[in-house]
Amino acid sequence: MNFIEASLCANEELYTLLHVKGLVQEHHLAFDVGAGGDVSVGIDLVAEKIFIKYLLPFGEIHSEESGVIKSPTASARIVLDPIDGSENLLSHLPYYGTSVAYFEAGKCTQAVIANLANGDVFIKDEKGLRRGKIGSKNFLHVEKNSFSKVGIFERSYASLQMHEKLHNAQIKYRSPGAFALSLAYAHEVAFVLYVGKMRSYDVEAGLFMCERLYTFHQGDIFLVSKDKETLDKIIGLFKSD
C-alpha cells in the first residue's frame, strides 16, 4: 500500500464512521487547544487516530490536533488536518473533510483532500490532479470549469470592507467554512479568497493542488483563480483604497 492508497483507506474508514455509525455524544466533547490553535473536539481526535494508524509508517505527522507525531520507520513529513470544517460537521452543515500533504526533501509531492459530506476526493501526485469518490478506484483528471458563476470567500465575516467591495463589483461568492476543501474545488469555482493568517495544516495540500492556477499572496490576503482576468479584478479591489 502506498501513501495515496493509505490516505484513501483512512478517509473511507472515517466516512463510514460518520455516515453509517454516526456521531455520538463523545464526538462533541471539547478537549484542550490543539497545535493549530483551536479547541480540539472528540471527532477531531478520533479522525486523527485513524490517520495515524494508516500514515505513520510513511513519515512524521504534523497534525493540527496533537502537533508532531514521530514515525519509527520513515523521515518524510506529513501535514494533516484530520477534520477540515469540524464546526460545520458538528452543526450538520454538509461541507467538511480532511486534508493531508506528503513532503519529501522539503517539497510537497503527494496530497489528498476529501469531502466527507458528499464523498468527493481529490488526489495529486506525479500523475497530476484527479477527482473521484471515497471507496471508488475510478479517478479522472480535473479540468477547469469554464462555467463558474460564484467564487468562495473563506472567513468573509472577518473582512466586512472586502465584502462591500465584492458586492459593489457584483462578484458573487459563498463562504462555506472549510479552507482546504475550498482549495480542492478551486478548479471548479470562479476563485477562492482568504483573508487572515493561514496555517500550514489548512493549506499545504490545497496549495499543492492549485499550483497550476493563478495565485496572489500579500500580507494576510490569499487569492487563487483559474482565470487571470478574475484574479486581477479582485486584486484591483484590494488596491483601490
Same domain, 73 and 130: yes
Lowest mean pLDDT among 7-11, 25-29, 115-119, 152-156: 25-29
Binding residues: 64, 81, 83-84, 202
In the predicted model, what is the mean pLDDT of residues 2-9?
96
The range of the structural domain enclosing residue 7 comes to 3-141
Same domain, 67 and 137: yes
Sheet-wide strand order for 151-154:
173-174, 151-154, 192-195, 221-225, 214-218
Residue 146, domain member (yes or no): no
Residues 162 and 203 sit within 8 Å (Cβ to Cβ) = no
Binding residues for Mg(2+): 64, 81, 83-84, 202
Rounded to an integer, what distance in angstroms lies between the CA atom of residue 129 and that of residue 143? 9
Domain tally for the chain?
Answer: 2
Structure confidence at residue 199 (pLDDT): 78
Of 110, 141, 172, which residue constitutes the final position of a domain?
A: 141
Structure confidence at residue 123 (pLDDT): 98
Same domain, 10 and 122: yes
Lowest mean pLDDT among 58-62, 83-87, 90-94, 158-162: 158-162
Residue 53, domain member (yes or no): yes
R_g of the chain, CA atoms, integer Å:
18
201-236 burial, b for 16+ CB within 10 Å, e for fewer? Answer: bbbbbbbbbbeebbebeeeebbbbbbeeebbeebbe
pLDDT (tens digit, 9 = 90+) per residue, 118-140? 999 999 999 999 999 999 989 99
pTM of the model: 0.91
Domain containing residue 228: CATH number? 3.40.190.80
Rounded to an integer, what distance in angstroms lies between the CA atom of residue 210 and that of residue 182? 11
pLDDT (tens digit, 9 = 90+) per residue, 170-193? 999 999 999 999 999 999 999 999
Is residue 74 over pLDDT 80? no
Domain containing residue 56: CATH number? 3.30.540.10
